[in-house]
Amino acid sequence: MFETLKEQPADKILQLMQLYREDPREDKIDLGVGVYKDATGKTPIMRAVKAAEKKLWEEQDTKAYTGLAGDPAFADAMINLVLSDAVARGNVAAVATPGGTGAVRQAFEMARLANPDVRVFVSDPTWPNHVSILNYLGIEVVSYRYFDGETRGVNFDAMMEDLGKAGPGDLVLLHGCCHNPTGANLNLVQWQAVVDLLNKTGAVPMIDIAYQGFGDGLEQDAAAVRLVASSVPECLIAASCSKNFGVYRERTGLLMAVSADPSKTSLNQGTLAFLNRQNYSFPPDHGARVVTMVLTDPALRADWAAELEEVRNSMLGLRELLASELQRASGSDRFGFIAQHRGMFSRLGASGELVQKLRDEHGIYMVGDSRLNIAGLNKQTVPILADAIIKVGM
Ligand code: PMP
């Protein structure tokens, strides 16, 4: 039977990682895959995570199954982190998932279960895996204009015009903070306008929040998702712990279904647990348990928040340095948007041809759509990148 299989489209970012590995140049620079790296190029295990893992190893006395929804303490801790007191706990159904990707996948499946004809509105551009999963599930994708190629900010008027076409039964996917791949984000006034529009049209929002704490701070980065969750009749929220806890390979995420009517929570919870059962039964526990320990132990939580703040500030510092080095190299302010963007990524808005030139001539690897991972840089490589960007004619 396998002879009928067709080649599947390769993930461009994973392909790029492979090309980078095979490149023999010693001064090559990897600005591709979305993993945080410190100034020495390492993706460290966070101090609080390591401490929690040690404690867990000492104290854990069983590896028996958790519940289908995962450990309820994980859901409580994450709901508190993401939503704080924006909505009452009784309005939130939640399941642990394998990473943010698992949460995204389950969210789409829940929407399709509720409405087999659901259309999902996604920003142009969005994280490519959103579109890939939707295509795989056979769900109709409608893209809405988002990135403004001129200003490298959000084309808000165009976005609102396109979102106006979503209606009841449609899902509108929004990035909670640190938009991937562009780094361009809405301000809170614009978020309020989106909420008003959704309430007018009846479309349901889904927030993907994978970088809480990487933009303007843990609380600031959750402001939009809290606003949405407290203002609409229902919404889905997919949260990832991969980046802000640095637990990429542990596959730790949470899917929340929020309803303004708490009598819906039990049905939502049952649906989410059912979806877990069909797809993989019990979600992974190790990362979730470690995250719970970090969030519920005041000393570990404080240390984690402090380290996350160091990570955030180091990326912000690199952004500012890159913007100023580009100002020096180009003699203009046209790269000022890099300092305005937030999160791990910025989209330069350059052609695929120039991205290729950067790779071929300078050994600098960024994603073909000109997305660069700010965390792939350090103080030494920023000026090298700035000069190379100008040399290739970006
Ligand atoms: N959503 C977005 C926007 C992302 O960038 C990512 C990570 N690349 C994810 C979800 C999921 O990440 P993970 O499955 O590794 O938690």
Are 165 and 244 contained in the same domain?
A: yes
Name the residue range of residue 109's domain: 65-296
Annotated catalytic sites, by residue? 127, 208, 210, 243
Number of structural domains (the chain) is: 2
What percent of the chain has pLDDT above 90?
A: 96
Q: What is the CATH number of the domain that holds 107?
A: 3.40.640.10
240 lines ligand 1 (CB under 6 A): yes
Same domain, 74 and 169: yes
Does one domain contain both 74 and 193?
yes
Query: How many angstroms does the Cα of residue 240 sit away from the middle of ligand 1?
Result: 6
Among 296, 314, 343, the domain-final residue is 296
End-to-end Cα separation, the chain, in angstroms: 49
Read off the tokens for 25. Answer: 């140049």
Which atom of ligand 1 is least distant from the CA of 101?
A: 14
Q: Is the pLDDT of residue 14 over 90?
A: no
pLDDT classification of 185: cutoffs 50, 70, 90: very high
pLDDT tier at 236, thresholds 50, 70, 90: very high
368 burial (CB, 10 Å; 0-12 / 13-18 / 19+) is middle
For residue 13, pLDDT over 90 is answered with no
User: Tens digits of per-residue pLDDT, 102-123?
Assistant: 999 999 999 999 999 999 999 9
**57 in a domain, yes or no?**
no
Asked if 359 and 375 sit in the same domain, the reply is: yes
Whether the CB of 36 sits within 6 Å of ligand 1: no
Confidence at residue 128, expressed as pLDDT on a 0 to 100 scale:
93
Q: Are 313 and 229 part of one and the same domain?
A: no
The reply to whether ligand 1 has any atom less than 6 angstroms from the CB of 101 is yes
Report yes or no for ipTM above 0.85. yes
Spatial distance between the Cα atoms of 256 and 96, rounded to a whole number of angstroms: 9
**Threshold 0.95, pTM exceeds:** yes
Least confident of 71-75, 142-146, 226-230, 390-394: 390-394
Looking at the fold, whether 239 and 337 belong to one and the same domain comes out as no
Distance CA 194, CA 144 (A): 13
Question: Could you tell me if the CB of 373 is within 6 A of ligand 1?
Answer: no
Ligand 1 pocket member 283 (CB < 6 A): no
Give the residue among 193, 129, 145, 142 at the shortest CA–CA distance from 169: 142
pLDDT digits (tens, 9 = 90+) for 321-369: 999 999 999 999 999 999 999 999 999 999 999 999 999 999 999 999 9
Domain contains 59: no
Quick one: 189 and 257 in the same domain? Answer: yes
DSSP SS3 for 44: coil
Span 224-245, average pLDDT: 98
CA 332 / ligand 1 centre spacing (Å):
34
251 CA: nearest ligand 1 atom:
16
CA–centroid distance, residue 62 to ligand 1 (Å): 30
Structural domain includes residue 52:
no
